[in-house]
Structure formats: C-alpha cells, structure tokens
C-alpha cells in the first residue's frame, strides 16, 4: 500500500536554530501534501497545504515566514521551522491524499523538541 515517510522521527535543537522535516511519498506521486501539528493530549491541527510547484497555503494563524514549506517534487515536501523556540516543540505530521477508498496517508510524525 501507499506509504508516506517522514524524516527525522525525532529531533532536538537549540533555541534560535532552524530544523527541516522531510515528507516523502514512497510509491506514489503527491501534488498536494498537508502539514499538521499536534500538541500533547490534543488533536491534530492543520497548518498548511503544500502544493507542488507553487506556494503553500497556510491556515489562519500560522506564520508562513516561520514555517517554510517547499514542495519541489511530486514526492517530497519539506517543512522548515525557522528560529525555533521552545513553544514550537510539538509533533509534526504530514499527509497526502489517497487516490482511492483509503482516505489519506499519514507520515509517522516528527517529534520536535526545542531546548
């Protein structure tokens, strides 16, 4: 079945640095991918829609200059958290639409801890 892979699974970074998270569709092409953030004991919150070959669209309240999204190919979208701060510590998850009766395919998530 279709798989979406995220890398890294977890990352610890110092405050003020930038972190890049990769989301790959392994056996299918995805012109659109979605990025979510999930804080402990909370639900997933959609951050942005990543569009291959064009700018990402961000949900209200999400800083586009802080969360840089690049979708340079049909199989790769990246999320860069710039100038990370401890409040950016969260679980980041990407997804891609399924083409059939499979809903969406989600990555395994990336645990970001900013110290």
Partner 1 sequence: LAKTTQPISMDSYEGQEVNITCSHNNIATNDYITWYQQFPSQGPRFIIQGYKTKVTNEVASLFIPADRKSSTLSLPRVSLSDTAVYYCLVGSYNTNAGKSTFGDGTTLTVKP
Which of 11, 13, 22, 49 is in the footprint of partner 1 by CB under 8 A?
Answer: 49
Q: Chain-centre distance of CA 47, in angstroms?
A: 8
CA distance 15 to 82: 10
Which span (14-22, 37-45, 67-75, 80-88) binds partner 1, by CB under 8 A? 37-45
**Least distance between partner 1 and beta carbon 56 (Å):** 12
Which of 19, 33, 69, 79 is in the footprint of partner 1 by CB under 8 A?
Answer: 33
Beta bridge partners of 81: 19, 67
Task: Name the token pair of 34.
Answer: 């979605």
- Residue closer to partner 1 by CB (options 5, 70) is 5
Binders of partner 1 among 50-89, rule CB under 8 A? none
Beta bridge partners of 45: 37
Backbone angles phi, psi at 111, to 5 degrees: -90, 115
Q: Does 96 bind partner 1 (CB under 8 A)?
A: yes
């Amino acid at each position: 079945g279709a798989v979406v892979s995220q890398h890294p699974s977890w990352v610890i970074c110092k405050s003020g640095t930038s972190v890049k998270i990769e989301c790959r569709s392994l056996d299918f092409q995805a012109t659109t991918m979605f990025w979510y953030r999930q804080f402990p004991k909370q639900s997933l919150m959609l951050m942005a829609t990543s569009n291959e070959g064009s700018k990402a669209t961000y949900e209200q309240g999400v800083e586009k200059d802080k969360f840089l999204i690049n979708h340079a190919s049909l199989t790769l979208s990246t999320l860069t958290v710039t100038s990370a701060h401890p409040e950016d510590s969260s679980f980041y998850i990407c997804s891609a639409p399924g083409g059939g009766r499979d809903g969406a395919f989600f990555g395994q998530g990336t645990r970001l801890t900013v110290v």
